[in-house]
Structure 1
Amino acid sequence: MSINISVLGSINLDTTYHITHIPLPGETLQVNKKTYAGGGKGANQAVAAQRSGATVHFIGAVGNDTAGKFMLETMGKENIDLANVEVKENEQTGAATILLDKNGQNSILVYAGANSLISHKQIVKAENVIAKSQYIIAQFETPIKATLEAFKIAKKHDVITILNPAPAAKISDELLELTDIITPNETESAFITGIKVKDQNAMHETDMYFKKKGVKVTLITLGSRGVHCSIGSISQLVPAHKVHVVDTTGAGDTFVGAMASILKPDFSNIFEAIDYGQKASSITIEVMGAQPSIPTREKVEQVYGKED
């Protein structure tokens, strides 16, 4: 039986400009190629979870435009439940402009569009869907007030909350108290806590910061070094899988969605779930584009073999 996951998040149409290097201030660069793909942190995480075998319910918004229609069709083909995705009149669908260099590193500009219009009323309408989920995942490309409301509903129904605080933003103690699992990267973690993740002592301080705020599990993604996990009295690095980097877009989102798709609600397989998420993420960065690069569970097992 698959895990039920609700995702509250962004839906974007990504435009990627392929260039030799990220431009310096005032520099003009020739673009080698321009490509389009489905994106948005929320949509990426939903696709990753669904492709790894979860049943996913999405809470979000698109504009009444061509991009919105395209994204609804794209996500519909993934068999993601879109009953709680609203089409906002007189608003554009969210968009991301990605500058991708020849080493696979990127810089991203995000336009929120319809994503910024997710309302309290829309979250309340989705209560039944949230209540029947094992997990709800949220990020910061949609209003933080909406996330707070969704997490309050989740706690009312004993649903585990996963917060991916990206892009980085200051988080209220109230929201952290409602967060079971937090998944920042090292830059986001430093922004939130004021502690630079530079050594083991700093990592321990960071773990303590989130623990004191009520977070049960802290997962700090460290790129090619892996994922630092703090749960209970255990603090451990789960190493990354080394691959050839083509495009890092969507790698963190793939990790979150794929990890959640196999995580047991009692967290008893947390390290296996982290490793699985990293395997899925490693495949993502070897392929161009956000959603087109997200692997299925079958693909992960084909590349890395089945778990015992």
Structure 2
Amino acid sequence: MAPAEVVCVASWNADLISRVTRPVARGETLMASAFSISPGGKGSNAAVAAARQGARVALIARIGDDDFGRMGMQLWHAEGIDTTHVEQAAGEHSGVAQILVYDDGDNSIAVAPGAGSGLGARQVQGARDQLARCKLVMASCEVPLPATLEAFRIAREAGARTVLNPAPARPLPDELLALVDVLTPNETELRALAGLDADVPVADAALALLARGPRAVLVTLGAAGCRLFEGGQPPLGLAGRTMPVTDTIGAGDTFTGALAAALARGEALQTAMRWANAAAALSVTRRGAIDGMPTRAQVAEQLQQP
């Protein structure tokens, strides 16, 4: 079997999704109009998105030996994703994300990582051969930082590129940022990582973060598109694509996965961000993280639209 092009240091959660009219106030109970359970986790979502863009994808992950964990394995096998380095922890529960989706398509999420919190450098070292042969390694901040740091060290030594989606936002050591080729925060995460107030312009926050080590900061702006910041280069912005929004679950993960797949097949970063921007736009037109993720052919068709 050909080696994986993209290796994802992945989180896995079962998404427990309730649909309500608006955010719930403290102490308040709202009746939900619908409930569903579906595959989730930022790492797993991004891996599926990359696979649907034609990349050969492998996971490094830790899940529970339970029904939710088996749901993950079934999904990855169906998507053609290599699970050789997915550890199923006996007696532990898989991660769970409790998600409220509002009538306007926006959402709020609380994540309990479960067995995923035990993912560390040991499991990453076990996948060293796979990491050393891939073209790109990606991770998110749902994964314990020691695992990401070890994976990115191996990737940098082997000449592979790295993509980090810093969500949920948390303090990141400069040692890790120096190993990041492309950082993909949204506006809120960008300012939190830069340690700046919410009213600071995106460009100022991006440049402050860029100075700490990543080679590029690619900020996702929701319906407004995205902006790319690289050292010594003028910012490059892409407008958002007007789409009918069903919900925004998984849009950021779709962006990251499509970006990773495009970079792995040799696209320039500026071209890869166009693919990612279009893929994320398509993802909001259907419910849930996985159902909305487009194929490479669908993204190519969308890019032909004005």
Shorter-chain TM-score: which interval?
over 0.9
User: 2: CA distance between counterparts of 1:134 and 1:151?
Assistant: 12
Describe the SS at the equivalent of 1:82.
strand
Describe the SS at the equivalent of 2:162.
strand
Evaluate the alpha carbon distance shift between residue 305 and residue 83 of structure 1 in structure 2; reply closer, same or farther with a 3 A threshold. Answer: same
Match of 2:68 in 1: 67
Aligned pairs for 1:170-189 within 5 A:
170-189=171-190
RMSD of Structure 2 on Structure 1 (CA): 2.0
Match of 1:255 in 2: 255
Describe the SS at the equivalent of 2:235.
strand
Evaluate the alpha carbon distance shift between residue 8 and residue 304 of structure 1 in structure 2; reply closer, same or farther with a 3 A threshold. Answer: same
User: 1: CA distance between counterparts of 2:18 and 2:271?
Assistant: 36
Match of 1:32 in 2: 33
User: 2: CA distance between counterparts of 1:126 and 1:2?
Assistant: 12
Describe the SS at the equivalent of 1:234.
coil
Describe the SS at the equivalent of 1:6.
strand
User: 1: CA distance between counterparts of 2:302 and 2:130?
Assistant: 34
Describe the SS at the equivalent of 1:121.
helix
94-103 or 228-237, which moves further after superposition? 228-237
Q: Percent identity?
A: 35
Q: CA deviation at 1:197?
A: 6.3
Match of 1:269 in 2: 268
Q: CA deviation at 1:301?
A: 2.8
CA displacement, residues 211-262 of structure 1 (integer Å, 9 cap, x when unaligned): 3222111101111111110123221211111111111000000001011211
Q: Which runs of 5+ in 2 are unaligned?
A: none
Contact 1:161 1:181 in 2 (8 A): yes
Contact 1:84 1:126 in 2 (8 A): yes
Q: CA deviation at 1:264?
A: 6.0
Q: CA deviation at 1:18?
A: 1.0
User: 2: CA distance between counterparts of 1:286 and 1:129?
Assistant: 35
Does residue 1:282 correspond to 2:281, yes or no?
A: yes
Contact 2:218 2:226 in 1 (8 A): yes
Contact 1:186 1:222 in 2 (8 A): yes
Does residue 1:235 correspond to 2:218, yes or no?
A: no
Describe the SS at the equivalent of 1:278.
helix
User: 2: CA distance between counterparts of 1:146 and 1:108?
Assistant: 23
230-239 or 171-180, which moves further after superposition? 230-239
Evaluate the alpha carbon distance shift between residue 222 and residue 198 of structure 1 in structure 2; reply closer, same or farther with a 3 A threshold. Answer: farther
Describe the SS at the equivalent of 1:86.
strand
Aligned pairs for 1:143-162 within 5 A:
143-162=144-163
Q: CA deviation at 1:270?
A: 1.9
Aligned pairs for 1:3-14 within 5 A:
4-14=5-15
Evaluate the alpha carbon distance shift between residue 150 and residue 264 of structure 1 in structure 2; reply closer, same or farther with a 3 A threshold. Answer: closer
Describe the SS at the equivalent of 2:214.
coil
User: 2: CA distance between counterparts of 1:265 and 1:180?
Assistant: 16
Match of 1:297 in 2: 296
Q: How many residues align?
A: 304
Describe the SS at the equivalent of 2:278.
helix
User: 2: CA distance between counterparts of 1:173 and 1:284?
Assistant: 32
Contact 1:17 1:32 in 2 (8 A): yes
Describe the SS at the equivalent of 2:291.
helix
Evaluate the alpha carbon distance shift between residue 68 and residue 275 of structure 1 in structure 2; reply closer, same or farther with a 3 A threshold. Answer: same
Evaluate the alpha carbon distance shift between residue 238 and residue 95 of structure 1 in structure 2; reply closer, same or farther with a 3 A threshold. Answer: same
Evaluate the alpha carbon distance shift between residue 265 and residue 32 of structure 1 in structure 2; reply closer, same or farther with a 3 A threshold. Answer: closer
Match of 1:81 in 2: 82
Describe the SS at the equivalent of 2:218.
strand
Contact 1:15 1:37 in 2 (8 A): yes
Describe the SS at the equivalent of 2:21.
coil
Q: CA deviation at 1:3?
A: 7.7
Q: CA deviation at 1:178?
A: 1.1
Contact 1:238 1:271 in 2 (8 A): no
Aligned pairs for 1:104-253 within 5 A:
104-196=105-197, 198=199, 202-232=201-231, 233-253=233-253
User: 1: CA distance between counterparts of 2:221 and 2:301?
Assistant: 25
Instruction: Return the TM-score normalized by structure 2.
Output: 0.94
Q: CA deviation at 1:158?
A: 1.2
Describe the SS at the equivalent of 1:167.
coil
Instruction: Return the TM-score normalized by structure 1.
Output: 0.93
273-282 or 45-54, which moves further after superposition? 273-282
User: 2: CA distance between counterparts of 1:2 and 1:240?
Assistant: 34
Task: Give the letter for the 1:300 counterpart.
Answer: V
